[in-house]
């Protein structure tokens, strides 16, 4: 059975996560597959809770509390803002007193699950059910590691060798990892509930990728390339190089804004300023306006407080400002020798605003809302790719 997109996203991120006990990676994924019905449960789809984790006060700061009607009655469960937050939160959950001593039982996957299973599920047969999924979990993790070793590419290419070729788009989730690099800090904004911009940028970007593939017509071939699929940072220049290396038609950076003032909000999209050597200005502005309009309209439909801050040059109108390194035309391959790549840089919203926190991060419909928002951007992207081809 083919893994669904959500399970693939979980596997991709978890396969590259630093674990204190790497020998437990497979069995833990197997447990999440059992608990979430292979990422089909409502708790996993709506709240990124792949472990069926009930709310416990120690989870404050790692999750938010939601009421949920499970098979054993209504109760409070954990809602996670991103898949990365769930992975962190799972270990926080285990580090509570009911599981004390678990780290003395980690020499094999079986030992671990036989120790925690009866506490987790109150069921002696639970460990065996998880162990039966271990081969499948291990194989999914191996596939993810292999795909990464093969280098960055769109492994879910819509490509049957026929149909209209729309070309390549590179999606660049902002920030990542723990090191500040030239043109790309590890993180910038932090949401009201403490979720880092880099985690939201990755989550939204992976949803955007899936939406582009899902919303392309069957007769259309295209490829979505991600500059990163896990929690790592890349220098700004290297991100832009992806567009050149993959002969991309479009390069789209995704970020979130932050402000000292909790009331600031709105959506804005940047393009490379003419003064910063943009030889592709009109096309970049067209692309920036298309994604800006699509994203803003969808956010406005979800929340009347949404605000259109418009498209802006990356020097913000000040010719002496250098602009964003990641939008450097030369690194994108915009020179006379080849077709120019259109580039845009979305600041989707201010995550320091409590309404945005509820709408897109930790409110009950946050995952659904962000999926709708990324579907709108996906449609705009596909229209651009079609327009460039014709
Ligand atoms: Zn940013």
Q: What is the mean pLDDT of residues 332-345?
A: 83
Distance from the CA of 255 to the center of ligand 1, in angstroms?
Answer: 4
CA of 230 to the centre of ligand 1 (A): 16
Q: Are residues 121 and 172 in the same domain?
A: no
Q: Phi and psi of 338, rounded to 5°?
A: -150, 170
d(CA 350, ligand 1 centre) in Å: 11
State the CATH number of the domain containing residue 258. Answer: 3.40.630.40
CA of 347 from ligand 1 middle (Å) equals 7
Examine the domain organization and report whether 308 and 289 are in the same domain.
Answer: yes
Q: Output the domain CATH number for residue 35.
A: 1.10.530.10
**Which of residues 147, 170, 189 is at a domain's end?**
147
- Distance (Å) from CA 22 to ligand 1 centroid: 31
Ligand 1 centroid to Cα of residue 325, in Å, is 12
Claim to verify: residue 57 and residue 160 sit in the same structural domain: no
Model pLDDT, residue 148: 87
Q: What is the pLDDT of residues 164-178, one digit of tens each?
A: 899 999 999 999 999
- How far separated are the first and last CA of the chain, in Å rounded? 38
Report pLDDT for 389: 67
The residue-averaged pLDDT of 94-111 equals: 97
d(CA 39, CA 67): 19
Q: What angle do CA 132, 136, 140 make, to 5 degrees?
A: 150
Is the pLDDT reported for residue 336 higher than 70?
A: no
Same domain, 289 and 181: yes
CA–centroid distance, 256 to ligand 1, in Å, is 5
Kind plus residue range of the DSSP H or E element containing 283 = helix 281-302
Question: According to the model, what pLDDT value does residue 1 have?
Answer: 44
Among residues 115, 147, 179, which one ends one of the domains? 147
Tell how far the Cα of 257 is from the centroid of ligand 1, in angstroms.
6
**What 8-state DSSP symbol labels residue 3?**
P
Strands (E), the chain: 64-70, 73-79, 164-173, 220-226, 250-257, 267-271, 308-313, 342-350
- Based on the domain organization, do 174 and 124 belong to the same domain? no
Q: Quick one: CA torsion of 370, 371, 374, 375, rounded to 10 degrees?
A: -150
- For residue 124, name the pLDDT band (cuts at 50, 70, 90): confident
What is the band of 155 on the pLDDT scale with cuts at 50, 70, 90?
very low
Q: How far apart are CA 379 and CA 371, in angstroms?
A: 12
The residue among 217 and 337 whose pLDDT is bigger is: 217
Claim to verify: residue 23 and residue 168 sit in the same structural domain: no
Q: For residue 345, is pLDDT > 70?
A: yes
Q: Which residues have beta carbons under 5 A from ligand 1 (an ion)?
A: 174, 188, 255
Residue 258 has pLDDT above 80, yes or no: yes
Residue-averaged pLDDT of the chain: 93
Measured CA to CA, the distance from residue 251 to residue 133 in angstroms comes to: 39
How many domains does the structure of the chain reveal?
2
SS3 state at 316: coil
pLDDT-derived band at 115, boundaries 50, 70, 90: very high
Say yes or no: 119 and 193 in one domain: no
What are the backbone angles phi and psi of residue 207, rounded to the nearest 5°?
A: -65, -40
- CA 184–ligand 1 middle distance (angstroms): 8
Q: Is the pLDDT of residue 72 over 80?
A: no
Q: Measure 97 CA to ligand 1 centroid, in angstroms.
A: 38
Mean pLDDT, residues 1-12 taken together: 86
- Which residues constitute the domain of residue 345? 153-389
- Take residue 213 and report the two structure tokens written for it: 């593939």
Q: How far apart, in whole angstroms, are the C-alpha atoms of residue 54 and residue 65?
A: 9
Mean pLDDT score, 250-261: 96
Domain termination residue (choose one: 125, 147, 169): 147
Instruction: Answer yes or no: do 143 and 162 share one domain.
Output: no
Axis crossing angle, helix 109-121 with helix 25-36, rounded to the nearest 10: 30
For every residue of 348-388, DSSP letters joined together read: EEETTSHHHIIIIIISTTHHHHHHHHHHHHHHHHHHHHHHH
In this structure, the answer to whether residues 178 and 90 fall within a common structural domain is no
**How far away, in angstroms, is 88 Cα from ligand 1 center?**
22
Q: Are residues 157 and 34 in the same domain?
A: no
The string of pLDDT tens digits covering residues 269-321 is 999 999 998 988 999 999 999 999 999 999 999 999 999 999 999 999 898 88
Domain identity same for 263 and 140: no
267 C-alpha vs ligand 1 centroid, how far in Å?
Answer: 13
Which residue is associated with the tokens 């987790």?
A: 120
Q: For the range 372-376, what are the long-range contacts, defined as Cβ-Cβ under 8 Å and sequence gap of 24 or more?
A: 372/298, 372/302, 373/204, 373/295, 373/298, 373/299, 373/302, 373/348, 374/204, 374/207, 374/208, 374/211, 375/211, 375/215, 375/298, 376/294, 376/295, 376/297, 376/298
Co-location of 163 and 199 in the same domain: yes
> Does position 17 have pLDDT exceeding 90, yes or no?
yes
Give CA–CA dist 270/252, Å, rounded: 10
């Amino acid at each position: 059975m083919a893994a669904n997109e959500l399970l693939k996203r979980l596997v991709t991120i978890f396969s590259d996560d630093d674990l204190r006990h790497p020998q437990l990676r497979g069995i833990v994924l197997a447990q999440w597959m059992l608990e979430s019905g292979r990422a089909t449960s409502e708790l996993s789809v709506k709240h990124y809770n792949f472990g069926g984790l009930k709310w416990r006060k120690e989870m404050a700061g790692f999750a938010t509390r939601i009421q949920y009607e499970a098979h054993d009655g209504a109760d409070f469960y954990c809602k996670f803002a991103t898949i990365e937050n769930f992975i962190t939160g799972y270990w926080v959950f285990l580090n509570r007193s009911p599981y004390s001593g678990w780290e003395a039982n980690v020499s094999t996957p079986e030992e671990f699950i036989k120790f925690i299973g009866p506490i987790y599920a109150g069921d002696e047969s639970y460990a065996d059910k998880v162990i039966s999924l271990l081969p499948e979990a291990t194989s999914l993790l191996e596939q993810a590691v292999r795909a990464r070793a093969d280098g960055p590419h769109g492994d879910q290419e819509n490509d049957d060798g026929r149909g209209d070729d729309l070309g390549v788009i590179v999606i660049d989730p902002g920030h990542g990892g723990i090191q500040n690099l030239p043109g790309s800090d590890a993180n910038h904004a932090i949401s009201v509930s403490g979720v880092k911009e880099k985690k939201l940028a990755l989550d939204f970007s992976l949803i955007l990728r899936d939406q582009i593939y899902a919303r392309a017509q069957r007769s259309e071939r295209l490829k979505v390339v991600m500059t990163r699929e896990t929690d790592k940072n890349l220098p700004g220049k290297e991100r832009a190089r992806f567009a050149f290396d993959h002969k991309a038609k479009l390069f789209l950076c995704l970020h979130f804004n932050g402000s000292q003032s909790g009331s600031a909000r709105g959506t804005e999209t940047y393009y490379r300023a003419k003064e910063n050597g943009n030889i592709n200005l009109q096309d970049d502005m067209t692309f920036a306006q298309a994604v800006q309009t699509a994203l803003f309209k969808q956010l406005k439909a979800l929340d009347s407080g949404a605000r259109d801050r418009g498209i802006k040059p990356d020097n913000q109108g000040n010719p002496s400002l250098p602009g964003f390194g990641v939008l450097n035309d030369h690194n994108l391959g915009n020179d006379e020798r080849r077709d120019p790549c259109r580039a845009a840089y979305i600041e989707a919203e201010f995550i320091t605003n409590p309404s945005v926190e509820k709408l897109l991060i930790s409110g009950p419909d946050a995952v659904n809302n962000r999926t709708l928002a990324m579907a709108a951007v996906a449609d705009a992207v596909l229209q651009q790719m079609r327009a460039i081809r014709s």
